[in-house]
Structure 1
């Protein structure tokens, strides 16, 4: 599992912004679902369980702010919906995704298969890499077994 930032580390990023109850509810959703890639609709549904007054506009503003503060990052898996996940720590910044074309399941690949390539690029190109992402598209085990 990837290292996730602590609540304290995240609170420290709110120096120029107020950590409102609505923003805290959205943060809690990400901490409680740190192994998921959540759409804005899923964040809304889960946040409303904590605070029924939260609406879509508040969710989108919170997502934009959390992304700006590098607490979450937005991903696009080609299904027309942006998904968000908690940003990992600098200790382990690489992870890759397997995306099922049938059921839209998103799985994380735990191994960093591009580590050597990244080292070569940094050395040969004198380019400091902050992060990289790789996505594989295909069919998950369940969809294969169903013959879909």
Structure 2
């Protein structure tokens, strides 16, 4: 974790920002809960456990700054809540997500599935792609299996 914090500190410094104690507390919470796609409120509640003096507005400002600097990606899975996802180390693009409409689970796809699509967009439309995001909405394996089990039981 310390290695990632040091890299984020360098990213901030390269843009003339400092990794203040408040920002570091926020980054640590994001790192400790990297798989969870936390909302700003979730981050705030976890930061408050470590540093009760940090306010909600500070956490919001920190998340917005980290988003602007592409340390985190701000995402919305269609439920009206912005969530924050740390960019993977060395990732050029946002990673993709599978969102289950039944149980709400979110799985990540690390592979860049859109390289060919980017090339087509750039060549055919003359549009320089800087980033992209892809979210699939559907039903996860577990919910599909549960549904089959329930259907079989009720037959």
For the aligned pair, the TM-score class normalised by the smaller chain equals 0.7 to 0.9
Q: Which has the larger radius of gyration?
A: 2
Matches of residues 74-113 of structure 1 in structure 2 within 5 Å?
74-89=74-89, 91-113=91-113
SS in 1 for 2:60: helix
Q: Does 1:18 pair with 2:18?
A: yes
**Do 2:93 and 2:112's aligned partners in 1 also have CA atoms closer than 8 Å?**
no
**Which sits farther off after the overlay, 72-81 or 38-47?**
38-47
| Cα separation, 1, equivalents of 2:91 and 2:104 | 29
Equivalence for 1:9: 7
Equivalence for 1:40: 40
By how many angstroms is 1:94 displaced? 4.7
By how many angstroms is 1:33 displaced? 2.4
Residues 13/114 of structure 1: CA separation in 2 closer, same or farther (3 Å cut): closer
Q: Structure 1 or 2: larger helix share?
A: 2
Unaligned 5+ residue runs, structure 2?
Answer: 151-155
Tell me the TM-score normalised to structure 1 length: 0.81
- Superposition RMSD in Å: 2.3
Tell me the TM-score normalised to structure 2 length: 0.78
Q: Which has the higher contact order (CA 8 A, sep 6+)?
A: 1
**Which sits farther off after the overlay, 5-14 or 28-37?**
5-14
Q: Does 1:63 pair with 2:63?
A: yes
Unaligned 5+ residue runs, structure 1?
Answer: none
Deviations 1:20-54 (A, max 9, x none): 21110101112222333111122122212321222
**Do 2:87 and 2:94's aligned partners in 1 also have CA atoms closer than 8 Å?**
no
| Cα separation, 1, equivalents of 2:92 and 2:133 | 12
Residues 89/130 of structure 1: CA separation in 2 closer, same or farther (3 Å cut): farther
